[in-house]
Homo-oligomer: A and B are copies of this chain.
Amino acid sequence: MTKKDKLSVEPYKGVRDFYPEEQAFLNYFIATCREFVEKVGYVEYDASPLEPSELYKAKGAENEEMVNEQTYTFVDRGGREVTLRPEMTPTVARMVAGKRRELGFPLRWYSLPNCFRYERPQRGRLREFWQLNVDLFGSHSPYADAEIIAMAYGLMKAFGAEDDDFVIKVNSRAYLNKLTEKLSDEARKKLFNLLDRKTKMPSDEFEAGLRELAISPERFMSAEGPAEIEKMIREFSDAGIKNIIYDPSIVRGFAYYTGMVFEVFDTHPDNNRALFGGGRYDNLTAMFDDEPVAGVGFGMGDVTIRDFLAVRNLLPVYAPPTHVYIAIPSSELALQAQTFAGSLRQQGVNVAVDFGEKKLGDQIKTAAKHNIPFVIVLGQDELASGQYTVRDLETGSEKKLDKGQLSEFFLNIERK
> Is A189 interfacial (CB 8 A cutoff)?
no
Q: How many copies of the polypeptide does the oligomer hold?
A: 2
- A312 proximity list for chain B (CB < 8 A): none
For the complex formed, measure the closest distance between the CB of A340 and the CB atoms of chain B, giving whole angstroms.
13
Given contacts A50-B12, A50-B116, A69-B77, contact A320 B58 (CB under 8 A): no
Q: In the complex the two chains form, what is the Cα distance from A234 to B365 in whole Å? A: 33
Binds B, one of A16-24, A267-275, A303-311: A16-24
What residues on B are CB-neighbors of A10 within 8 Å? Answer: 98
Tell whether, in the assembled complex, residue B351 and residue A43 are in contact, meaning their CB atoms are under 8 Å apart.
no
Q: Do the beta carbons of B350 and A39 come within 8 Å of each other?
A: yes
Interface 0/1 of A3-32, CB less than 8 Å to B: 100111111110111111001101100000
One of A103-111, A205-213, A385-393 contacting the partner: A103-111
Q: Which of A81-117 contact B (CB under 8 A)?
A: 82, 94-95, 97-99, 102-109, 114, 116
A278 to chain B, nearest CB (A): 18
- Within A180-197, the residues touching B (CB, 8 Å) are none
Q: Among residues 112 to 154 in chain A, which have CB atoms less than 8 Å away from a CB atom of chain B? A: 114, 116, 118, 127-128, 139-141, 143-144, 146-147, 150
CB <8 Å contact, B11 and A47: yes
Residues of B within 8 A of A350 (CB): 38-41
Residues of B within 8 A of A98 (CB): 9-10, 17
- Does A290 lie at the interface of the complex (its beta carbon under 8 Å from any beta carbon of B)? yes
Interface pair B43/A370, CB less than 8 Å apart: yes
Q: Are B94 and A9 in contact (CB under 8 A)?
A: yes
Give the distance in Å from the alpha carbon of A144 to the alpha carbon of B352 in the complex: 11
Cβ contacts under 8 Å, A144 to chain B: 355
Interchain nearest-CB distance for A53 vs B (Å): 9
CB-based contact A104/B370 at 8 Å? yes
Q: How far in angstroms is the closest Cβ of chain B from A141?
A: 4
**Does A288 sit at the interface, judged by CB under 8 A?**
yes
Contact between A108 and B55 (Cβ–Cβ < 8 Å)?
A: no
Closest B residue to A102 by CB, please name it. B369
Q: Which residues of B contact A62 (CB under 8 A)?
A: none
CB of A1 within 8 Å of the partner chain: yes
Is there contact, CB below 8 Å, between B353 and A141?
no
Q: Please pick, from B12, B78, B139, B289, the residue contacting A80 in the complex, using a CB distance under 8 A.
A: B12
Interface pick from A169-177, A331-339, A397-405: A331-339
From B12, B24, B80, B108, A51 is in contact (CB under 8 Å) with B12
> Which residue from chain B places its CB closest to the CB of A109 in the assembled complex?
B20
Contact with B along A47-74 (1 / 0, CB 8 A): 1111110110010000000000100101
| Residues from chain B with Cβ under 8 Å of A95 in the complex | 9, 17, 19
Q: Is A228 an interface residue (CB 8 A)?
A: no
Query: Is there contact, CB below 8 Å, between A46 and B58?
Result: no
Do residues A139 and B290 form an inter-chain contact, with CB atoms below 8 A?
no
- Cα A298 to Cα B385 in complex, Å, equals 37
Interface centre among A10, A38, A331 (most CB of B within 10 A): A38
The verdict on A255 contacting chain B, using a C-beta distance below 8 Å, is no
Q: Quick one: given A39-B351, A43-B320, A144-B355, are A11 and B76 in contact (CB under 8 Å)? A: no
In the complex, A275 Cα to B1 Cα: how many Å?
35
CA of A353 to CA of B356, assembled, Å:
58
Chain B, Cβ-Cβ closest to A24: B44
11 interchain pairs (CB within 8 A)?
Answer: A8-B288, A9-B98, A15-B50, A19-B95, A20-B109, A23-B46, A26-B46, A39-B345, A40-B341, A48-B127, A150-B338
